[in-house]
Structure 1
């Protein structure tokens, strides 16, 4: 399998990484078969977290680690924010994983500025990670985050983290455009190890797996980490990694134009808005807040029960609703204001019904109490 340098860590990581969350869904013997098959095909990155099944994922991976440790870049995560608790969790992870060291320990799921401050403060979990590194229990320190990436950007500017993981995919690229426009350039500039999670947008892109993986493999990242809980899924992902050819700019634009998950509702955040030269930036700003709010998943359209349930489960997955509401109120021009200008708007080149979409945003974030 193709390998890339993991930032400045000195580690060479396989293009496809194995995420351990979904191992809690299957028996230990099936988990062992999948992990061994992955390693046999040249994969070398296994990642889990202390919280996955309260250690169950780590224990299943540990049965493989004890036999094949030298072949593996091994990572786990801690969500504890104080030094004492984080050290206890690191020690428990080492025991569960049957090893004397982790290649990477992640400060997991850093959600906002207050969360980051608690990690960085004296007596915070970063203090434990540094001590564990001095003791040889940990080789490198990383950080993970979800949703709007401002806190990750702030964290990486501190110089404290060698590896960063967050979600990249062609759907959330338009809900959280700073992921690719601001965060990726920063990690590349500083040579920070960069890992992609959620290439299928938490399963939302399940009908377009090949394009979804090819898209993220084509980004300037070091590896794509995904959960695999069946032989069929593992073999598909291994094949996609083995056969990967980078997307051209023309192929990306074709994907953005035709992907059914984007359809005629998701704002593509075009550099030059085709709807209005005067109000284009305002339109994009309003729709960007909708992306933060619920990933633009509620669009007022009837759907079958399975599709509705998936969208309803994922729309607030990253917990950025309050952030969206606060930032929306600070916008100088909101959806209600733009609706008064809608008669002047031109057609969106992606077919969005901008007036209808503004009405929905006003319902989500404005003063409208019912959807018009």
Structure 2
């Protein structure tokens, strides 16, 4: 399996990383079989968190780590924000994982500026991570975040973090365009280790696994980390990593045009909006706020109960609803304003019904109390 350099850490990581969250769903013996197969096939990045099953994931991984520590890059995460609590959690993670050091400790799930400030301030969890590094308990310090990446970008500009992890996939590319447009160039400029999570958009892309993995493998990331809780899933993901060939630009455009999850509702944030030369940037801004709000998942269309339930569960997954509402109010032109211009709009090259979409955004973020 291909290995890539993890930023400036000096470590190399396999293209496919093993995320430990879903190990809490299966017995320890099955978890051990999966982890052993993964390592035997050339994988070397294992990642978990203290919060996954309140240490259960770490304990299952620890049974493998104790015999193969020198073969792998091992990471865990802490969501605690004070130094004393974070150090206690790091120590517990080391015990659970049956090792004397972590290659990476992540400050996990940084949500907003107040959260970041709590980590960075004296007595915050970064202080504990640095102390743990001085003591040899931790080699590198990282950070993770979900959703709109402004806070993550701010955190990485501090120079305090050597590795970062967030979500990249061909669905959220269009809900959070800063992920690829601003965050990826920043981490490459600063040589920050770059890890992709959620390649299937929290499972939303489950019907197009091959396209989803090939897309993220083609990004300038160092590894793609995913959860695997059965042998069939592991074998599929390993095969995709082992046989990976980068997408061409033409293949990317074909994916963006034809992916069923994007369909004729998701705004592709085109460089040149085909709908209106004059108002294209305003349309994109409105639809970008919808992406922040609920990942453009509610589109007013009836679906079977399973698909509806998945969308309903994932649409507010990242908790950016209030941020979207606040930023929407600051837009110069909102959906209601643009609806007055709808008769002038040309056809969207991706088939979006712009008038209908603006009505839905006005229902989500504007003044309409009932979906028209």
TM-score, with length taken from structure 2:
1.00
Q: Residue by residue, what CA displacement relative to the aligned partner does 1:152-185 show, whole Å, maximum 9, x if unpaired?
A: 0000000000000000000000000000000000
Written as runs of structure 1 = structure 2, the 5 A alignment for 1:91-170 is 91-170=91-170
Equivalence for 1:337: 337
SS in 1 for 2:104: strand
Give the CA deviation at 1:101.
0.1
Question: Secondary structure of 1:58's partner?
Answer: helix
1:364 and 2:364 correspond = yes
Deviation (angstroms), 1:123: 0.2
1:1-372 matches, within 5 Å, as: 1-372=1-372
Secondary structure of the corresponding residue to residue 351 of structure 2: coil
CA separation in 2, counterparts of 1:354 and 1:125? Answer: 46
CA distance in 2: counterparts of 1:337 and 1:51, whole angstroms: 45
User: Equivalents in 2 of 1:272, 1:154: separation in Å?
Assistant: 28
SS at match of 1:103: strand
| Distance in 2 of aligned mates of 1:72 and 1:291 | 37
Where does the alignment leave 5 or more consecutive residues of structure 2 unmatched? Answer: none
User: Hey, what's the Cα distance between the residues in 2 that align with 1:98 and 1:10?
Assistant: 23
Q: Distance in 1 between matches of 2:190 and 2:72?
A: 25
Distance, in Å, in 2 between the alignment partners of 1:127 and 1:90 is: 12
Q: Per the alignment, in what secondary structure is the counterpart of residue 139 of structure 1?
A: strand
SS in structure 2 of the partner of residue 67 of structure 1: helix
Q: Which runs of 4+ in 1 moved over 4 A?
A: none
CA distance in 2, matches of 1:355, 1:158: 43
Paired residues in the alignment total 372
**1:131 Cα deviation after fit:** 0.1
Find the residue that maps to 1:316 and give its secondary structure.
Answer: coil
| Whole-angstrom CA distance in 2 between matches of 1:80 and 1:327 | 29
- Give the C-alpha shift of residue 249 in structure 1: 0.4
Q: In the aligned structure 1, how far is the partner of 2:25 from the partner of 2:314? A: 19
User: Which runs of no fewer than 5 residues in structure 1 stay unpaired?
Assistant: none
Q: Distance in 2 between matches of 1:25 and 1:322?
A: 32
Distance 2:122 2:333 in 1: 42
d(CA) in 2 for partners of 1:54 and 1:329? 40
The CA deviation at 1:92 is: 0.2
Deviation at 1:196, TM superposition (A): 0.1
Q: Secondary structure at the match of 2:195?
A: strand
> Per-residue deviation at 1:371?
0.5
State the SS of the aligned residue for 2:119: helix
Q: Measure how far apart 1:280 and its partner are.
A: 0.2
The DSSP-based 3-state class of the residue aligned with 2:289 is helix
Partner-residue secondary structure (3-state), 1:351: coil
CA shift, 1:217, in A, is 0.2
**d(CA) in 2 for partners of 1:220, 1:60:** 31
For residues 310-349 of structure 1, what are the alpha-carbon distances to aligned partners after superposition, in whole Å with 9 as ceiling and x for unaligned?
0000000000000000000000100000000000000000
**Matched residues in 1 for 2:177 and 2:14: separation?**
26
Calculate the TM-score normalised by the size of structure 1: 1.00
Q: Superposition RMSD on alpha carbons, in Å?
A: 0.2
SS of 1:46 mapped into structure 2: strand
